[in-house]
Structure 1
Amino acid sequence: MNTTVHLVALCGSLRKNSFNGFLLQNALKLLPEGVTMEIVSIADLPHYNQDEDTPAKPERPQQVVAFRNKLAAADGFLIASPEYNYSIPGALKNAIDWASRGKDSPLLQKPVALIGATTSLWGTVRMQLAFQPVFLTLSMKPALKPEVLVADAAKRFDDRGNLTDDMARDLLRQKIEALHQLVLQSRQS
């Protein structure tokens, strides 16, 4: 059995120095042996338009095709996102909309882990809850525990983006390992 695992990571924030981008950079340093991860940008995806995504027009926009191809090559996904208005940021939801459409969706039945960092005290809990129906709709396999909810993020990272909170870093490591194990288990089923 192949034990190499390739993850694709998505950042729900488009901000240059996003705490969630920092969280993914820290995740790269915590990958278990045999796991690779590529952070794929969602910044250049056009707004979802079903007129551009129908059987009558079989060619999706070039950026969308490239994005979906990268997702298709993944064994699982790590999504780091802030919480906007108690929910999923628009840019991230847009990316999920482009990736979720059609019987050839690269998200269908794949393992996924959700993490988040925010300057608020709630630590993205509502955004993570808002994602549950999306995962259910796509028959995705979420790694629910441990929860990685980095609250008050400005105090949890140094000026270079390193996660300085030992508990948060340990939870992040555990979450990545849980996703890794979920990918390996899904290969057996």
Structure 2
Amino acid sequence: MSVRILALVGSLRAGSHNRQLAEAAAKHAPAGVDVELFEGLADVPFYNEDIDVEGSVPAAAARLREVAGGTDAFLLFSPEYNGTMPAVLKNAIDWLSRPYGAGALSGKPVAVVGTAFGQYGGVWAQDEARKAAGIAGGAVIEDAKLSIPASLTRFAETHPADDTEVATALTEVVARLTEQAAPAAA
């Protein structure tokens, strides 16, 4: 049995610590678990029902849906922008929530983690991402959390994959997500 987890990173910045956190999740994933980082969220247009028409969905949004449809679970990485999640992550959730009741998120396990500069590690943004993913139909795993504060100093010279405490906590989140996704993947 193999479990496929799609990682959606809410930061588009090249040196993003949340992207590095996603890379760490992929690196430390247990055997039989594939954590794939989705590339291309910046290309997905803002959700608009007028362009979400069968046969003419924008290519980037169609690709997101296609890749997401073939996965067993989602791992969302959210920094905190002005007290909430970045627009690019919310936009991905919106595209994956459609068609209503049958979107790629529907019924699939979702965990939300992240890091931010502040003292709480982006917890507000991550709570908002959990809320949005749940409303969109995802099966949010409320006890699979990881908020890492002080990202600019903590990861100034150390990649999250090389931070033992972070790698251990992230591995626990991936294991919990895998546990929930395994029955569907079998």
* Greater alpha carbon shift after TM alignment, 173-182 vs 125-134: 125-134
TM-score normalised by structure 2 residue count: 0.90
Alpha-carbon displacement from aligned partner over 1:7-42 (angstroms, at most 9, x marks no partner): 110100010100000001111111011101210021
Q: Equivalent residues in 2 for 1:132-151 (5 A)?
A: 132-151=130-149
TM-score normalised by structure 1 residue count: 0.89
- Whether the 8 Å contact between 2:122 and 2:147 is mirrored in structure 1 is yes
* One of 90, 94, 97 as aligned partner of 1:97: 94
Q: Equivalent residues in 2 for 1:103-142 (5 A)?
A: 103-142=101-140
Alignment partner, residue 73 of structure 2: 76
- Whether the 8 Å contact between 2:93 and 2:133 is mirrored in structure 1 is no
Q: Percent identity?
A: 31
Tell me the matched-pair count.
184
* Greater alpha carbon shift after TM alignment, 162-171 vs 12-21: 162-171
Alignment partner, residue 50 of structure 1: 49
Alignment partner, residue 29 of structure 1: 27
Alpha-carbon displacement from aligned partner over 1:90-114 (angstroms, at most 9, x marks no partner): 1111111111121431110100111
- Does 1:65 find its partner at 2:62? yes
Give the Cα–Cα distance (whole angstroms) in 1 for the partners of residues 144 and 180 of structure 2. 13
Task: Give unmatched runs, 5+ long, in structure 2.
Answer: none
Alpha-carbon displacement from aligned partner over 1:106-148 (angstroms, at most 9, x marks no partner): 1101001111011111111101221233233233222222421
Alignment partner, residue 151 of structure 2: 153
Pairwise CA distance, 1:67: 1.0
Task: Give unmatched runs, 5+ long, in structure 1.
Answer: none
Give the Cα–Cα distance (whole angstroms) in 1 for the partners of residues 124 and 171 of structure 2. 22
